[in-house]
Amino acid sequence: MQAAVGASDRTNMGGRPSPPDPRPGESGARAKRGRGEGASSARARARGELLESLYERYNRPQYIAPDPLQLLAAYPDSLDREIVGLIASSLAYGRVAQILRSVRLVLDRMGSPTRFVRRATPSVLDARFAGFRHRFTDDRDLCALLKGIRAALREFGSLGATFAAGLSPGDATVLPALGRFVEALNSPARCAGRFLVPSPDGGSACKRLHLFLRWMVRSDDVDPGGWSCVPASMLVVPLDTHMFHTCRAMGLTGRKSADLNAAIEITHGFARYSPGDPVKYDFALTRLGIRPELERESFLERWTAARA
């Protein structure tokens, strides 16, 4: 009569111990995990394709206006364009028609931005922009910003070089360098311009500054670029209320306010689909909130249907 064979006694044809039988249900659990991972991967691909489709369709020059970004197209020189970009993004709050009027008024009084800022003394700046007002921003705030730009150009040669001086090899995002950039701009005027160029150190999402960085760093049919010192992978999403609500609806953040932590969460979410350029979809997504004919609700329905 043959003795029962224990688990430790099992051998295969070659004399080696056979692998133990799977525990009850283990094979089924592995199969379920495999099916779940496959479904999740398929849904992730569907969401990525949806974002790419949105980018291809709406990240086009004809969808820029009305937007302060449209004013940068008149300045092919990157030194002029970065000054125009900082002024335009800093004043980009309120109704877009008012923003465009205010920025044009400033630019019209400057002529060549780089030449004007480099040559203008503080007293010339104060006289040239006396009486300026854009909502909460008055001539004192604007001149503080221009004096900060002037000091940065005198020390570093350009705004791009000023920002690059604040970058460190271990920085994962632009945030540490942005804090140093803001300090460089604000220190000449003893912090008078902090509303226009707030520091991320206080927890602000700094939407307008991140918008400026998007314009300067990225280069495609919409963003003009000009700075090669910053990788696009380090950018943070420019987060305002409209973008925040869109991204909450997409499940990219669960936070209740459009603060810096929400901007970081949302940036990480987009990095799953475009790790080298996480703000790639920002312009196209913001068009959904600005232009009602672009079917925001239809996009969100398709996104939800593909959500993991």
Select the more confidently predicted residue: 172 or 33. 172
Contact 109, 151 (CB under 8 A): no
Q: Which residues neighbour 144 within 8 Å (Cβ) at sequence distance 6 or greater?
A: 186, 188, 189, 192, 193, 196
- Residue with the bigger pLDDT between 23 and 2: it is 23
CB contact at 8 A, 263 and 205: yes
How would residue 159 be classed by pLDDT, with cut points 50, 70 and 90? very high
Strand partners, 17: 11
Q: What is the dihedral of CA 253, 257, 258, 262, to 10 degrees?
A: -30
Cα(196)–Cα(300) distance, rounded to whole angstroms? Answer: 33
Sorted by where each begins, the domain ranges of the chain are 64-199
Mean pLDDT (the chain, rounded): 88
For residue 208 the two structure tokens come to 């307008």
Residues 69-115 pLDDT 10s:
999 999 999 999 999 999 999 999 999 999 999 999 999 999 999 99
Hey, what are 233's tokens? 């992978």
